[in-house]
Amino acid sequence: MRTFVYAANPARVVFGAGTRGQVRDEVQRLGCSRVLLLGSPPLADVADEIAEQLGELAVARFDGAAMHTPVEVTEQALAVVREHEVDCVVAVGGGSTTGLSKAIAVRTDVPQVVLPTTYAGSEVTPVLGETAEGRKTTRSSPAVLPETVVYDVELTLGLPAAMSVTSGINAMAHAVEALYSEQANPVVDGMALDSIGRMARALPRIAADPRDLDARADALHAAWLAGTCLGTVGMGLHHKLCHTLGGTFDLPHAETHTVVLPHAMAYNAPAAPEAMRRIAEALGVADAAAGVHDLVASLGGPTSLRELGMPESGIAEAADLAVAKPYPNPRELVRDDLAALLTAAWRGDRPS
Ligand code: NAD
């Protein structure tokens, strides 16, 4: 018999193609009338379209979100919130824009309507990572969780193929680690396995044709499920390593996840054989870790930390940091074994 505790976060999810047309209704459903619209330069035209739809409800606009949610940027946005007596945030963009929305919400308690345009999954988690004076801190609170998520598949059609692959594997990492999480439970397992299979089938179709709406729908659906896994159960070695590598060597978020995932899986495989068997089955391969590596390689994604700009001399430091503070993981965290993992990831070896 399996013993578990299951706790879900509240969520209102609107999913489809063209659903951005429902943003005004969703804002009014929350009882709000003074919206701060958060956009980002590559998606400025989408934010313009939503501003037009919101009409008099849109009282302010801020397009300055940055990676890792710097507190200085949040302060600038908060000044806009105060100046315009904002009572709701509508955010259109990837994890960075969602991060700014969450940073505003946790300080003001204004409700959020988020329209994600990548597969990062932040929109369905109560977690906020921020940087102040070069240090990244993370907090988790119900006030961080967006009230409404509007998934509009059409907003992802312009996500370049290479970013789609890395962002998709970033999502897959949430689902993989959910399956061997300490808090794993049957509901989350089901979401994770559906997500892994769906994403693995979608990415080759997106790489072949980035404007394939059905493939994009599968990938966004998979990203939602994976984000829900991330927001519901604790993550392990893979997320810890990516956090450490990103913070220490300033490596790009989704790309780092893409390189590290097969190696973190290979490390944990002996201690989580059932999870790996189920992941391999979802991927339709014999070995889960090698299967993820092969998927990334076949799509032309990054496979080595070297190509992301990490110095080889950083491996020892990263291994030290990875064992500095204990955290739950199926396999014991052994410094030299982690150094071997990082060496393989740095070189871009195929896990065997
Ligand atoms: P991002 O939001 O920084 O986006 C990367 C780039 O892609 C940006 O230049 C963005 O403007 C552009 N872009 C986004 N969508 C696009 C689209 N549809 N078409 C064209 N360009 C587009 O990157 P990300 O990977 O989505 O998010 C990474 C950030 O999110 C990190 O800071 C990470 O820590 C955070 N994150 C947080 C959580 C959480 O639960 N708190 C979860 C996942 C990620």
* CATH number of the structural domain spanning residue 48: 3.40.50.1970
Q: How many domains does the chain have?
A: 2
Ligand 1 neighbourhood includes 303 CB (under 6 angstroms) = no
Could you tell me which of 187, 101, 191, 104 has the C-alpha nearest to residue 148? 101
Q: Would residue 59 count as lying in a domain? A: yes
Answer whether residue 3 is part of any domain: no
CATH of the domain at 191: 1.20.1090.10
Q: Which residues pair with 91 in a beta bridge?
A: 38, 114
Confidence at residue 145, expressed as pLDDT on a 0 to 100 scale? 98
Kindly state whether residue 217 falls inside one of the protein's structural domains. Answer: yes
End residue of a domain, out of 156, 191, 217: 156
Helix (H) or strand (E) holding 13: strand 12-16
Instruction: For residue 5, tell me if it sits in a domain.
Output: no
Q: Residue 89 corresponds to which tokens in the numbers above?
A: 């945030």
Tell me, yes or no, whether 239 and 335 share the same domain: yes
Is residue 240 domain-shared with residue 327, that is, in the same domain? yes
219 lines ligand 1 (CB under 6 A): no
167 and 286 share a domain?
yes
The CA distance from 281 to 263, in Å, is 18
Whether residues 121 and 227 fall in one domain: no
ipTM comes to 0.99
Token pair recorded at residue 110: 């204004």
Block means of pLDDT (10 residues each) for the chain, length 352 residues?
95 98 98 97 95 98 95 98 98 98 98 98 97 88 98 98 98 98 98 99 98 98 98 98 93 97 98 98 98 98 98 97 94 98 98 89
DSSP H helices in the chain: 23-29, 44-54, 71-83, 95-108, 161-179, 186-208, 213-232, 237-249, 253-268, 273-283, 288-298, 314-324, 335-347
pLDDT of residue 12: 98
Question: Does residue 1 sit within a domain?
Answer: no
Which residue has its alpha carbon closest to ligand 1 atom 3?
A: 96
Residue 352 is predicted with a pLDDT of 81
Please check whether residues 255 and 195 belong to one and the same domain: yes
Q: 273 C-alpha vs ligand 1 centroid, how far in Å?
A: 32
**Same domain, yes or no: 73 and 187:** no
Hey, what's the torsion of the CAs at 216, 123, 257, 352, to 10 degrees? -70
Same domain, 148 and 172: no
Q: Which residues contact 189 (CB under 8 A, 6 or more apart)?
A: 178, 179, 278
Q: What is the number of the ligand 1 atom nearest to the C-alpha of 144?
A: 41
In a domain, 2, yes or no: no
User: Measuring CA to CA, how many Å separate 81 from each of 34, 120, 138?
Assistant: 10, 26, 23
Residue 168 and residue 313 in one domain: yes
CA of residue 179 to ligand 1 center, whole Å:
24
Q: What is the pLDDT of residue 136?
A: 83
Q: What is the pTM of this model?
A: 0.98
Instruction: Encode 302-312: b = buried (16+ Cβ within 10 Å), e = exposed.
Output: bbebeebebee
Is the residue at 352 inside a domain? no
Domain end, chosen from 131, 156, 181, is at 156
- The predicted structure's pLDDT at residue 247: 87
Q: Would you state the pLDDT for residue 133? A: 86
Q: Is 3 helix (H, G, I), strand (E, B) or coil?
A: coil
The conformation of residue 309, written as its DSSP 8-state character, comes to T
Which of these three, 121, 137, 156, is where a domain ends? 156
Output the pLDDT for position 134. 76
220 C-alpha to ligand 1 centroid (Å): 14
Compute, in degrees rounded to 10, the torsion defined by CA atoms 317, 303, 236, 121: 120
Does a structural domain hold residue 250?
yes
pLDDT of residue 176: 99
The DSSP code for 331 is S
| Residues 148, 170 within the same domain | no
Residues 280 and 145 in one domain: no
Q: Does residue 131's CB lie within 6 angstroms of at least one atom of ligand 1?
A: no
**Residue 99 near ligand 1, beta carbon < 6 Å:** yes
Tell the residue number behind the tokens 């030299």, with chain if given: 336
Residue of minimum CA distance from atom 35 in ligand 1: 95
Q: Are residues 170 and 41 in the same domain?
A: no
Q: What are phi and psi of 131, to 5 degrees?
A: -120, 135
Residues pairing with 273 in the sheet: none
Range of the domain at 199: 161-347
